[in-house]
Amino acid sequence: MIRQQIKDVYFGLVRYVSLPNAVLARVKHRSAAAGEGVRLHLGCGPHYIEGMINVDGNLFRRKDLWLDLRNRLPFPDRSASLVYCSHMLEHLFPDDAITLLREIHRVLRDGGVARIAVPSIEHALAIARGEAKMEFPRPFSDPLAQAVNYLFCDGQHKYGYSWALLADFASQAGFDRITNYSAEHGVREKQYGPITLGNEPPGSLVVELVR
C-alpha cells in the first residue's frame, strides 16, 4: 500500500492539473441533461462499472474521466439519473464532502437517486466490542485498536460517518429524501434501471439520496 503522505502530494497536484480535463468534459457533456440522463460512478477506484461514467483521480485506474472530486462536477444541472459513490467520501475532509454532496444534488435530475456507501462508525464500535472483525489494512490483537484501524485505514480516511452524521451532511447539501438503506438491507444488491449496484464491504453504511 502506498503511504498516505505520497498520496496527499499526488492528489494535491491532481486537483489543479486535472482542471483542463474538467473543462473538456464539461464541453463533451454539455447536452447530458437531455434524454435518459447520465449515470455517474464517482471515485470508482478498481471497480469499473459498465454502463456508468466512471470517474477517478488516479491516472493508473481504468476510468472514463480523470477528475479530482473536490472540484466542480463537469455535468449540467439535473443531468444525472443515478450517482454511485462507494467508500470515497471518507477520503475527504468534511467541508469537501459536503461540497461534493451539493454537487451530486445539483447534477441529479428530479427523482434521481444517489447511492452513497461509507465505513460505518457503528461497525467500528462492533469491532471494538469484539462482535465483528476487520483486519484490513493491518491486523491488531486488541479489538479497540482494530476498530481505530478500520475507521481511519492507516490515515487514508479523513473522517468517520454514522447514519445521523451522514444524513445531516446530505441535508446541508440540499437533500430532504434520505434513507438508511443498510439499516434494512445491509449491502444487498439493488437494481437501478439497467444498473445493479451493491455488495459493498461488510459493515458499510449505505444511504440513498433522492433529488
Q: Each residue of 33-64: pLDDT tens digit? A: 888 889 999 999 999 999 999 999 999 999 99
Residue 147, domain member (yes or no): no
Give how many domains the chain has, as a whole number.
1
C-alpha cell at position 69: 472530486
The order of strands in the sheet holding 80-86 is: 65-66, 53-56, 38-42, 80-86, 108-119, 204-210, 177-180
β 204-210/108-119 pair status: antiparallel
CA separation for the pair 83, 69 (Å, rounded): 13
Residue 139, domain member (yes or no): no
Domain coverage including residue 57: 4-118+155-210
In single-letter form, the type of residue at position 137 comes to P
Residue 138, domain member (yes or no): no
Question: By C-alpha distance, which of 40, 44, 37 is closest to 58?
Answer: 44
Confidence of residue 133 (pLDDT cuts 50, 70, 90): confident
Residue 160, domain member (yes or no): yes
Contact 38, 80 (CB under 8 A): yes
3-state secondary structure of 55: strand
Residue 123, domain member (yes or no): no
CA separation for the pair 121, 161 (Å, rounded): 6
CA separation for the pair 145, 106 (Å, rounded): 39
CA separation for the pair 113, 81 (Å, rounded): 7
Q: Any idea what DSSP says for residue 204?
A: E
CATH number at residue 169: 3.40.50.150
| Beta bridge pairs of residue 80 | 38, 108
Would the pTM count as exceeding 0.85?
yes
Residue 104, domain member (yes or no): yes
- Residue 143 gets the label, from left (phi > 0), alpha (psi -120 to 50) or beta, of alpha
Q: What mean pLDDT value characterizes the chain?
A: 95
pLDDT value at position 85? 98
102 has a pLDDT exceeding 90: yes
CA separation for the pair 164, 80 (Å, rounded): 26
Q: Give the position of cell 454537487.
A: 103
CA separation for the pair 70, 32 (Å, rounded): 21
Residue 192, domain member (yes or no): yes
Confidence of residue 157 (pLDDT cuts 50, 70, 90): very high
Cα-based torsion angle of the residue sequence 31, 35, 37, 39 in order, rounded to the nearest 10 degrees = -110
Residue 24, domain member (yes or no): yes
Confidence of residue 77 (pLDDT cuts 50, 70, 90): very high
32 has a pLDDT exceeding 90: no
117 has a pLDDT exceeding 80: yes
CA separation for the pair 86, 51 (Å, rounded): 16
